[in-house]
Structure 1
Amino acid sequence: MILITGASGQLGDALVKLCRERGIEFTAVARPEFDFEKPESISACFAAAKPDLVINAAAYTAVDKAEADQEAAKAGNHTGPLALAQLCAAADVPFIHVSTDYVFDGDKGAPYVETDPTGPTGVYGATKRDGEEAILATNAKAVILRTAWVYSAHGKNFARTMLNAGRKMPLLRVVADQRGTPTAAPDLAAAILAIAAKIRATGWQPEYRGIFHATGAGETTWHGFACAIFAEAAKHGYKAPEVQAIATADWPTPTRRPPDSRLDCAKLTQVFGVSLPDWQVTLPGIIDTLLVLDAS
């Protein structure tokens, strides 16, 4: 039995759908039943599920809002996941936790490897980094996956935001000096379930414990991502707006974004035999689904 937390989010939704398609036994929980700000709900859901593996897809993800909502961000990204990891450790249950590229400042100038020093530039990244460290300080059988730029046909994300904005405005200004890799939630979900399957097939191995990078392959900028989104949408009759490239300085936000948060995912392949497809491979299907959903 897999316990999936954060089932109402992009990744949680993708995990639930894949488990159903593949006949994998699971229990999925989300707010208000499961809430990292309510510690008693964490232990109650864990006890009820009696899982043999836990996938934590729950998190506080409002990057800018976190600057003023620090306690909620800490609960969602640090103390809450720590409590869940401790329950897993006590029950000797593997724990797969999802973290972020925002643990880095983005100034390396090359893809980050797992052993690179962290340097978050905002509360969101700092709470995610603190969560990683706290989980690894337990004796949990923990797999921590750092991912980036997650999008899907479910929930709020950059792809849906762009499509909605493009329907209203003939010109969009999109940052072109931040580099990273879009990661489709279904691809990340498939990778996570492949990791879970390997753990079950081989039993827990010491090399499974620790941090791994897990993003789509390839790279782009937010501007490049937006252009690709509209190019796909145009194939379905969507009237694409003009997309103007701007600098980060032209679009100030409360939190400084990493200018280059590319992640090297070689370790994930070496240890688990898992890799995610190029971000451009999955994009067409998700844009197609988004256009159908948003038109209905």
Structure 2
Amino acid sequence: MKKILITGCNGQLGRALNQIYNSECLINTDVTEGEGRKALDITDVDAVLKMVREEQPDVIINCAAHTAVELCESQEDLAYRINAIGARNLSIAAAQVDAKLIQVSTDYVFDGNGTRPYTEFDEPCSDSVYGKTKLEGERFVKEFAPKHFILRTAWLYGDGKNFLKTMLRLSETNQEVRVVNDQFGNPTSAKELARLIHFLEPGENYGTFHATCEGQCSWADFAAKIFEMAGKATKVIPISTEEYNARVKRPAYSVLDNYMLRLTTDYRMADWETALQEYMDELQ
């Protein structure tokens, strides 16, 4: 049976992968050991090499990341260790056992100053530590792992802490919420991303892919749709990024175009509203 090693198995995508895949073929790992998972610090190259040599996985899916955008600014070294060096260590290990490596990346590799959806052929350029460290992770994967898929996703939600859960929590005690209306992206279900990984992983169509649900919206639009589907009366008050006064610059327009999927496969990810409805139905 094919063996698939997952890092960051307790995250939103890791949990979704455990739903999509037959659990018998999965080697679940996270920073700490627990029920059904092994401890693995991806920043420790010796630990990574040891586990991969022992387990001999056919595929490694790297879901581990330092994704707290604001914290990355004050924890730059840690962000580089996890997002860049971690990807490097897994790439080296994957090459040693001839395993495929699936690296999950982000829309933050772009600065968000564009006016049309970014394709895989656009040159990345990031203004944030988070984006820069994830981009370096991509570069290490390309350098060390011959059999790799790099999947850039955005605005991910699933089983865990996310924007959607925050909005639902706020709706319990607030008649209205203020949400940024001048940042645009692709809300993406972790389950939809897991389904794409399940589709790509058996093949050899290697390279970089944008991997988001189809369509785009602002954060305010996203919040309004969440409340509508949840049957909440909470009103969304659109505000500007300047009014929100975030401590870290975030991409104003980081919409991704799944161009490589269209060019090289017949696979299409669900529209963001369709995927959101599926998630809300399961949540309720």
Q: TM-score, normalised by structure 1?
A: 0.89
- Structure 2 equivalent of residue 107 of structure 1: 113
Which of 204, 216, 219 is residue 219 of structure 1 equivalent to? 216
Aligned residues of 2:13 and 2:191 also touching (Cα < 8 A): yes
- Structure 2 equivalent of residue 229 of structure 1: 226
Distance in structure 2 (CA, Å) of the matches to 1:131 and 1:93: 18
Post-superposition Cα deviations, 1:114-146, rounded to whole Å, max 9, x if no partner, equal 121111111000000111112112252111011
- Structure 1 equivalent of residue 94 of structure 2: 88
- Structure 2 equivalent of residue 256 of structure 1: 249
Distance in structure 1 (CA, Å) of the matches to 2:44 and 2:169: 34
Aligned residues of 1:93 and 1:141 also touching (Cα < 8 A): yes
- Structure 1 equivalent of residue 16 of structure 2: 14
Q: Which runs of 5+ in 1 are unaligned?
A: none
- Structure 1 equivalent of residue 25 of structure 2: 25
Post-superposition Cα deviations, 1:252-285, rounded to whole Å, max 9, x if no partner, equal 2222111111111021233243221001112123
- Structure 2 equivalent of residue 171 of structure 1: 176
Shift in CA distance, 94/148, structure 1 to aligned 2, threshold 3 Å = same
Distance in structure 2 (CA, Å) of the matches to 1:48 and 1:169: 52
- Structure 1 equivalent of residue 41 of structure 2: 35
- Structure 2 equivalent of residue 244 of structure 1: 237
Distance in structure 1 (CA, Å) of the matches to 2:14 and 2:101: 15
- Structure 1 equivalent of residue 62 of structure 2: 56
Q: 1:24: how far off? A: 6.3
Distance in structure 2 (CA, Å) of the matches to 1:16 and 1:26: 8
Q: 1:106: how far off? A: 0.9
- Structure 2 equivalent of residue 189 of structure 1: 194
Post-superposition Cα deviations, 1:190-239, rounded to whole Å, max 9, x if no partner, equal 00010013x1xxxx3xxx332111100011110000000000000xxxx4
Aligned residues of 1:29 and 1:45 also touching (Cα < 8 A): no
Distance in structure 1 (CA, Å) of the matches to 2:151 and 2:47: 24
Q: 1:38: how far off? A: 3.4
SS of equivalent residue, structure 1 residue 168: coil
Distance in structure 1 (CA, Å) of the matches to 2:4 and 2:25: 6
* Counterpart residue type for residue 166 of structure 1: S
Which of 200, 204, 209 is residue 206 of structure 2 equivalent to? 209
* Counterpart residue type for residue 11 of structure 2: G
- Structure 1 equivalent of residue 266 of structure 2: 273
Aligned residues of 2:179 and 2:239 also touching (Cα < 8 A): yes
Q: Structure 1 residues 139-148 or 63-72, which shifts more?
A: 139-148
Return structure 1 stretches of 4+ with deviation > 6 angstroms.
none
Q: Which runs of 5+ in 2 are unaligned?
A: 33-38
Aligned residues of 2:42 and 2:86 also touching (Cα < 8 A): yes
Q: 1:6: how far off? A: 0.9
* Counterpart residue type for residue 260 of structure 1: Y
Distance in structure 1 (CA, Å) of the matches to 2:147 and 2:173: 48
- Alpha-carbon RMSD: 1.5
SS of equivalent residue, structure 1 residue 286: helix
Distance in structure 1 (CA, Å) of the matches to 2:230 and 2:193: 23
* Counterpart residue type for residue 130 of structure 1: E
1:289 aligns with 2:282: yes
Which of 141, 146, 150 is residue 144 of structure 1 equivalent to? 150
Aligned residues of 2:62 and 2:87 also touching (Cα < 8 A): yes
Aligned residues of 2:12 and 2:160 also touching (Cα < 8 A): yes
Q: 1:93: how far off? A: 1.2
- Structure 1 equivalent of residue 36 of structure 2: none
